[in-house]
């Protein structure tokens, strides 16, 4: 494992060690490029993870202050928890469930395909599905995604079997146990899934891919990667020519340090990345770094989400086994006849009793609530995840009043559902309920969105500098040695879960950065 | 299908250890009623206040198969907090006093003496938007449902990694689905 000097100005410095940052750092190290990852959270081992929802949340989740506004229900129910993401080495890939799907071809060009939509800010990506396909292939192989590379699907658990039976009765065709970055058989030194059922709590068996266990250690082995846990980036600095020169961060003791850099890559997830750029405003960049377009922090997407739980006469025990290995893809296409643009996936989901109580109907109480809780062993559950429309006003800003313990303004998250999101959610609630009713559900619960687990779009890619923050390689339009490497690059959110695309983009970006460094362009 | 035995399966010793911090041990160990367990009163709240608090907790999240001990464990930390923080104490005592006043106005008895849950619910609905109710409910949804001892009663088995997961313990043992 390497340790690099604070004054070494030949390094790539990455902020964040999650899907984007952890992958980029490892890939650069494998290519022989000396890299430091600054990670705000602590480093845990697989053995330290706990099969206990609240204890695990306390161990892993980002609970530093954030503030909210807007008409979304999360702002009312969880005003200081707009997002459920991780603050630890590995980032949200420690929490994630492993669903790994490619965007559809048209989902890269929504402005073209869906047309102009009032109130929304649609834009086409500057890259196509065909361009990303080789990187998707690489990512799938690396992450060991089931149903790719000859890897068999995971076995279906009880929750999946209910979903599958209902889906078939309804006439849905594309129903299976998903494309999951969870080993169905031993692969790349990691064992097969033990059906533990605490995928969100950091898989204790190592079957689930995360940058913590599957990437970063490989990068560290090369001697080219140093990961610094408990180091929170506060500000990115630049020289008079407008090139970035380093990152100021608070170390584990809260002391400020300055790490010099040849290149800086921001990968703090879509809330923290724009916060860091905005907080790096200077006389040269008065609206924040890389923000000449005014788009930093805008077009925040979080997916149209919701859940449906169905109750049956007999037991399901949905919590047994892999949390999200089950999918119906028949509604994922774009079919405006349904009354909205874009599509959605239905994926199995289960929560334990503690989280079910918190999320089933936040704020709910009394007999209707407790009667639902008492159906727990007879419940099946699904998560609805669909494309939400980028809107300029859905936005991360620096809170004008609230600061964190380092004196850095906290992120303020504003979100309103677009009418398209609402129409899609209502359709998804109806179809989700129909799936369970088809196999005898006695009651179904349309459950509101949880705090955002999929955060995207706040530093989006654009062909033209005025429409977005980064170019087709995630390089900022304004500063050539500054990159964005996480989900905030997304120009659109697509119907599917984002992480495979984040990883594919990071691998592609590593290739680009290595080439540009070799050619001495940066 | 393998069903979940709703009886308490944790050893008494580990149960007492985990619950000791939150609930009066006497109540847990002997199954005493609220009055008996808290006859002495808490650190900050009187026996009557504690009793009402437990009643309110049960009315917010009524599960008839749960003994008072679980509700006591869930609200007991409030008493400790009130002892150390005058603002919390005021929030609780004033909230509880208002409930009793409302109860007397409508039913001529204190809150805890109102016979029907439905009548008590009407009073709670009237204070649903007060800081007292909101704080109590938000805390309770964690402090009640996060007690591992209560999970088997809801058919939830809790941690599974130490048992080898569900690979050989029924992850796919559902046997009643129609053939499709
Ligand atoms: C419960 C849950 C389930 C999920 N399931 C799926 C799934 O099945 N499929 C899927 O595709 N996606 C899933 N996701 C989403 C997925 O985890 C994220 O999309 C992905 O991890 C985002 O990658 P990222 O690189 O943008 O950010 P992250 O992975 O969140 O990493 C960001 C890291 O940056 C660190 N950081 C932030 N600011 C700073 C700073 N200033 N200085 C230093 N470090 C900083 C953070 O602490 C964090 O570790 C799930 C998420 C959750 C929470
Ligand atoms: S179900 Fe599989 S992937 Fe999920 S935590 Fe268990 S072993 Fe890991």
Give me the residue from B1, B159, B170 closest to A52, CB to CB. Answer: B159
Q: Which ligand is closest in space to the CA of residue A273?
A: 1
Contact status, residue A202 vs residue A41, Cβ threshold 8 Å: no
How far apart CA A505 and CA A128 sit, in angstroms, is 12
pLDDT digits (tens, 9 = 90+) for A109-167: 999 999 999 999 999 999 999 999 999 999 999 999 999 999 999 999 999 999 999 99
How far apart CA A34 and CA A514 sit, in angstroms, is 11
Q: Give B151's contacts in chain A (Cβ within 8 Å).
A: 352-353
Contact status, residue A334 vs residue A403, Cβ threshold 8 Å: no
Structural domain including A261 reads 12-518
How would residue A46 be classed by pLDDT, with cut points 50, 70 and 90? very high
Residue of chain A whose Cα is closest to the Cα of B179: A165
Q: Mean pLDDT over residues A400-406, rounded? A: 97
Q: Any bridge partners for residue A444, and if so which?
A: A310
Q: Do B145 and A374 touch (CB under 8 A)?
A: no
Q: Mean pLDDT over residues B96-118, rounded? A: 98
Contact status, residue A125 vs residue A113, Cβ threshold 8 Å: no
Give the rounded distance of the alpha carbon of A467 from its chain centre.
Answer: 23
Q: Give A47's contacts in chain B (Cβ within 8 Å).
A: none
Which two tokens mark A185?
């058989």
Burial environment of residue B179 by CB neighbours within 10 A (0 to 12, 13 to 18, 19 or more): exposed
Q: Give A324's contacts in chain B (Cβ within 8 Å).
A: none
Does the interface ipTM go beyond 0.85? yes
Region of A157 on the Ramachandran plot (φ > 0 left; ψ -120 to 50 alpha; else beta): beta
A158 CB less than 6 Å from ligand 2? no
How would residue A434 be classed by pLDDT, with cut points 50, 70 and 90? very high
Res A370 pLDDT > 90: yes
Contact status, residue A2 vs residue A34, Cβ threshold 8 Å: yes
CA-based diameter of chain B, in Å?
A: 63
Tell me the CA–centroid distance for residue B28 and ligand 1, in Å.
42
Residue of chain B whose Cα is closest to the Cα of A55: B146
Q: Do B154 and A376 touch (CB under 8 A)?
A: yes
User: What stretches of A345-464 show up as alpha helix (H) in DSSP?
Assistant: 353-359, 367-373, 419-437
Res B19 pLDDT > 80: no
- Each as own residue / partner, the long-range contacts of residues A398-401 (CB below 8 Å, 24 or more positions apart, any chain) are A398/A275, A398/A278, A398/A279, A399/A67
Q: Give B171's contacts in chain A (Cβ within 8 Å).
A: 155, 157-158, 195, 197, 320-321
Q: Mean pLDDT over residues A269-281, rounded? A: 98
pTM of the predicted model as reported, rounded to 2 decimal places? 0.96
Burial environment of residue B139 by CB neighbours within 10 A (0 to 12, 13 to 18, 19 or more): middle
Per-chain mean pLDDT for chain A: 98
DSSP notation for A332-376 = -S--GGGSSSS-EEEEE----HHHHHHHSSTT--SHHHHHHHTTG
Q: Does A369 fall in a domain?
A: yes
Residue of chain B whose Cα is closest to the Cα of A319: B156
In chain B, which residues touch A (CB < 8 A)? 1-4, 59-63, 121, 124, 137, 141-142, 144-146, 148, 150-151, 154-162, 164-167, 169-174, 176-178, 180
A50 CB less than 6 Å from ligand 2? no
Res B16 pLDDT > 50: no
Q: Any bridge partners for residue A328, and if so which?
A: A175, A346
CATH of the domain at A337: 3.50.50.60
Q: Does A115 fall in a domain?
A: yes
Pairing mode, strands A67-69 and A409-414: parallel
Q: What is the pLDDT of residue B37?
A: 58
- For residue A270, the ligand 1 atom closest to its alpha carbon is 26
How would residue B23 be classed by pLDDT, with cut points 50, 70 and 90? very low
Q: Do B170 and A317 touch (CB under 8 A)?
A: yes
Q: Angle at Cα B155 formed by Cα B150 and Cα B157, nearest 5°? A: 75
Q: How far is A159 from chain B (nearest CA, A)?
A: 8
- For residue A196, the ligand 2 atom closest to its alpha carbon is 6
Q: Do B156 and A319 touch (CB under 8 A)?
A: yes
Q: Which ligand is closest in space to the CA of residue A139?
A: 1
Q: Do A195 and B171 touch (CB under 8 A)?
A: yes
How would residue B6 be classed by pLDDT, with cut points 50, 70 and 90? confident
Kindly state the helix (H) or strand (E) to which residue A263 belongs, with its residue range. strand A263-266
How would residue B179 be classed by pLDDT, with cut points 50, 70 and 90? confident
Which of B41 and A354 is assigned the larger pLDDT? Answer: A354
Res B31 pLDDT > 80: no
Q: Which ligand is closest in space to the CA of residue A269?
A: 1
Q: What is the pLDDT of residue B34?
A: 60
Q: What is the pLDDT of residue B22?
A: 42
Q: Does A1 fall in a domain?
A: no
- The set of residues, in sequence order, having a beta carbon less than 8 Å from that of B150 and lying 6+ positions away, is A353, B66, B70, B144
Q: Does A4 fall in a domain?
A: no
Q: Do A358 and B141 touch (CB under 8 A)?
A: yes
DSSP-derived secondary structure letter, A216: H
Three-state SS letters, chain B: CCCCCCCCCCCHHHHHHHHHCCCCHHHHHHCCCHHHHCCCCCCCCCHHHHHHHHHHHHHHCCCCCCCHHHHHHHHHHHHHHHHHCHHHHHHHHHHHHHHHHHHHHHHCCCHHHCCCHHHHHHHHHHCCCCHHHHHHHHHHHHHCCCCHHHHHHHCCCCCCHHHCCCCCCCCCCCCCCCCC
Percent of chain A whose pLDDT exceeds 70? 100
pLDDT digits (tens, 9 = 90+) for A440-466: 999 999 999 999 999 999 999 999 999
Give me the residue from A158, A164, A357 closest to B173, CB to CB. Answer: A158
A207 CB less than 6 Å from ligand 2? yes
Q: Does A3 fall in a domain?
A: no
Q: Does A5 fall in a domain?
A: no
How would residue A338 be classed by pLDDT, with cut points 50, 70 and 90? very high
A182 CB less than 6 Å from ligand 2? yes
A487 CB less than 6 Å from ligand 1? yes
CA nearest B67: which of B153, B170, B160?
B153
Residue of chain B whose Cα is closest to the Cα of A205: B161
B68-84 and B86-107 are packed helices; what angle lies between their axes, rounded to 10 degrees? 130
Q: Do B172 and A194 touch (CB under 8 A)?
A: no
Q: Which ligand is closest in space to the CA of residue A155?
A: 2
Q: Does A396 fall in a domain?
A: yes
CA nearest A347: which of A282, A283, A303, A389?
A303
Contact status, residue A292 vs residue A128, Cβ threshold 8 Å: no
- For residue A275, the ligand 1 atom closest to its alpha carbon is 41
pLDDT digits (tens, 9 = 90+) for B36-76: 656 667 889 999 999 999 999 999 999 999 999 999 999 99
Contact status, residue A186 vs residue A83, Cβ threshold 8 Å: no
Residue of chain A whose Cα is closest to the Cα of B58: A366
How would residue A296 be classed by pLDDT, with cut points 50, 70 and 90? very high
| Structural domain spans, chain B | 55-148
Determine which of A32-41, A56-65, B39-48 has the lowest per-residue pLDDT on average: B39-48
Res A224 pLDDT > 90: yes
Q: What is the pLDDT of residue B20?
A: 39
Q: Does A410 fall in a domain?
A: yes
Percent of chain A whose pLDDT exceeds 90? 100
Q: Which ligand is closest in space to the CA of residue A16?
A: 1
Residues shown for chain A? 522
Task: State the best of A320, A356, A376 to mutate against chain B, taking most chain B CBs within 10 Å.
Answer: A320
Kindly state the helix (H) or strand (E) to which residue A161 belongs, with its residue range. helix A158-170
Q: Atom 4 in ligand 1: which residue has the minimum CA distance?
A: A96
Q: Angle at Cα A483 formed by Cα A481 and Cα A484, nearest 5°? A: 165
Task: State the best of A377, A378, A379, A437 to mutate against chain B, taking most chain B CBs within 10 Å.
Answer: A377
How far apart CA A504 and CA A473 sit, in angstroms, is 11
Q: Give B160's contacts in chain A (Cβ within 8 Å).
A: 51, 196-198, 320
Q: What is the pLDDT of residue B18?
A: 44
DSSP-derived secondary structure letter, A381: E
A462 CB less than 6 Å from ligand 1? no
Q: Give A373's contacts in chain B (Cβ within 8 Å).
A: 61, 63, 145, 154
- Number of domains observed in the structure of chain A: 1
């Amino acid at each position: 494992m390497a340790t690099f000097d604070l004054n070494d100005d030949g390094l790539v410095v990455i902020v964040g060690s999650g899907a984007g940052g952890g992958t980029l750092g490892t890939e650069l190290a494998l290519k022989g490029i000396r890299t430091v990852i600054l990670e705000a959270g602590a480093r845990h081992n697989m053995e330290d993870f706990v099969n206990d929802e609240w204890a695990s949340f306390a161990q892993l989740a980002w609970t530093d202050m954030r503030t909210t506004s807007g008409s979304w229900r999360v702002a009312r129910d969880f005003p200081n928890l707009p997002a459920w993401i991780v603050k630890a080495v590995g980032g949200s890939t420690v929490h994630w469930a492993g669903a790994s799907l490619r965007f559809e071809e048209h989902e890269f060009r929504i402005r073209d395909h869906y047309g102009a939509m009032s109130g929304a800010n649609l834009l086409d990506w500057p890259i196509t599905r065909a361009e990303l396909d080789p990187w998707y292939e690489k990512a799938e192989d690396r992450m060991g995604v089931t149903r790719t590379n000859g890897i068999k699907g995971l076995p279906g658990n009880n929750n999946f079997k209910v979903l599958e039976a209902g889906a078939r009765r309804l006439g849905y065709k594309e129903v299976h146990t998903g494309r999951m970055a969870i080993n169905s058989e031993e692969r790349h030194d990691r064992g097969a899934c033990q059906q533990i059922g605490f995928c969100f709590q950091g898989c204790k068996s190592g079957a689930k891919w995360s940058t913590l266990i599957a990437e970063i250690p490989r990068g560290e082995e090369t001697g080219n990667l140093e990961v610094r846990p408990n180091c929170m980036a506060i500000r990115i600095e630049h020289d008079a020519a407008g090139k970035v020169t380093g990152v100021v961060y608070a170390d584990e003791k809260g002391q400020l340090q300055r790490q010099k850099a040849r290149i800086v890559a921001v990968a703090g997830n879509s809330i923290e990345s724009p916060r860091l750029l905005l907080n790096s405003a200077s006389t040269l960049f008065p609206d924040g770094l890389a923000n000449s377009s005014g788009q930093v922090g805008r077009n925040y997407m979080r997916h149209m989400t919701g859940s449906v739980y169905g109750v049956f006469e007999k037991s399901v025990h949905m919590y047994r086994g892999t949390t999200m290995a089950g999918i119906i893809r028949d509604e994922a296409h774009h079919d405006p006849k349904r009354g909205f643009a874009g599509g959605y996936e239905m994926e199995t989901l289960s929560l334990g009793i503690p989280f079910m109580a918190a999320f089933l109907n936040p704020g709910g109480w009394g007999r209707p609530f407790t009667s639902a809780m008492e159906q727990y062993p007879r419940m099946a559950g699904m998560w609805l995840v669909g494309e939400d429309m980028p809107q300029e006003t859905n936005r991360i800003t620096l809170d004008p009043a609230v600061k964190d313990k380092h004196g850095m303004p906290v992120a303020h998250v504003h979100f309103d559902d677009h009418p398209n999101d609402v129409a899609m959610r209502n359709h998804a609630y109806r179809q989700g309920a129909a799936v369970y009713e088809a196999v005898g559900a006695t009651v179904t619960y349309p459950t509101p969105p949880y705090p955002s687990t999929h955060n995207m779009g706040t530093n989006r890619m654009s062909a033209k500098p005025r429409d977005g923050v980064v170019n087709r390689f995630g390089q900022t339009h304004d500063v050539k040695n500054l990159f964005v490497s996480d989900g905030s690059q997304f120009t659109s959110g697509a119907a599917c879960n984002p992480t495979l695309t984040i990883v594919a983009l990071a691998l592609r970006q590593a290739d680009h950065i290595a080439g540009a460094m070799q050619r001495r362009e940066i | 299908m393998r069903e979940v035995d709703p009886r308490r399966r944790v050893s008494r010793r580990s149960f007492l250890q985990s619950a000791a911090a939150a609930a009066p041990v006497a109540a847990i160990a002997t199954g005493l009623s609220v009055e008996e367990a808290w006859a002495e009163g808490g650190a900050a709240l009187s026996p009557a206040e504690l009793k009402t608090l437990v009643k309110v907790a049960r009315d917010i999240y009524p599960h008839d198969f749960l003994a008072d001990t679980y509700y006591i464990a869930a609200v007991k930390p409030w008493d400790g907090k009130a002892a150390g923080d005058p603002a919390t104490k005021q929030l609780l005592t004033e909230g509880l006093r208002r409930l009793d006043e409302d109860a007397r106005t409508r039913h001529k008895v204190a809150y805890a003496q109102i016979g029907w849950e439905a009548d008590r619910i009407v009073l709670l609905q009237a204070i649903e938007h007060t800081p007292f109710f909101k704080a109590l409910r938000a805390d309770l949804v964690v402090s009640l449902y996060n007690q591992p001892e209560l999970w088997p009663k809801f058919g939830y088995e809790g941690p599974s990694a130490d048992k080898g997961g569900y690979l050989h313990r029924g992850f796919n043992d559902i046997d009643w689905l129609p053939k499709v």
